[in-house]
Homo-oligomer: A and B are copies of this chain.
């Protein structure tokens, strides 16, 4: 069962966050491998695998939340990738982040756009939408 959560989480992580997600887990291997395992099991094996909300809506929620919190730039970039990977368009990503000016202030929105700019450039280089 435990291993079923891990296997399911790993599949979901690859589906949503692709290479960026795998690199996060990789970077934890030598220092906090159990945090790596939990990151696969709980967020992806448990939460993302739930049927009650489509992946597109999940990524909209996460991009909004991380933009609003404003203290998790690496994870925001991973989830902007994630949003684009599951069908949110670049225009919609910009729209979600812009909207956070209302709820978390203009600095949060401006820093969110800076993160989006980096992700879009990286994807341009890789020929991704």
**Known contacts A50-B95, A94-B31: does B104 contact A69 (CB below 8 Å)?**
yes
- Identical chains bound together, number: 6
Interface string of A21-64 (1 = CB under 8 A from B): 00010011001101100110011001100101100011011111
Q: Which residues of B contact A62 (CB under 8 A)?
A: 64, 99, 103
Specify the main secondary structure of chain A where it touches its partner: helix
Q: Give a binary string over A96-129; 1 marks a CB under 8 Å from any B CB, 0 the rest.
A: 1111111111111111011011001000000000
Question: Which residues of A are in contact with B by a Cβ distance under 8 Å?
Answer: 1-3, 5, 24, 27-28, 31-32, 34-35, 38-39, 42-43, 46-47, 50, 52-53, 57-58, 60-72, 74-75, 91-92, 94-111, 113-114, 116-117, 120
| A-B contacts, 29 listed (Cβ < 8 Å) | A1-B3, A27-B114, A31-B113, A31-B117, A34-B50, A35-B98, A35-B110, A38-B101, A42-B46, A52-B94, A53-B96, A53-B99, A58-B99, A60-B61, A61-B96, A61-B100, A64-B64, A65-B68, A68-B69, A69-B103, A69-B104, A72-B103, A72-B108, A75-B103, A101-B105, A102-B106, A103-B105, A103-B107, A104-B104
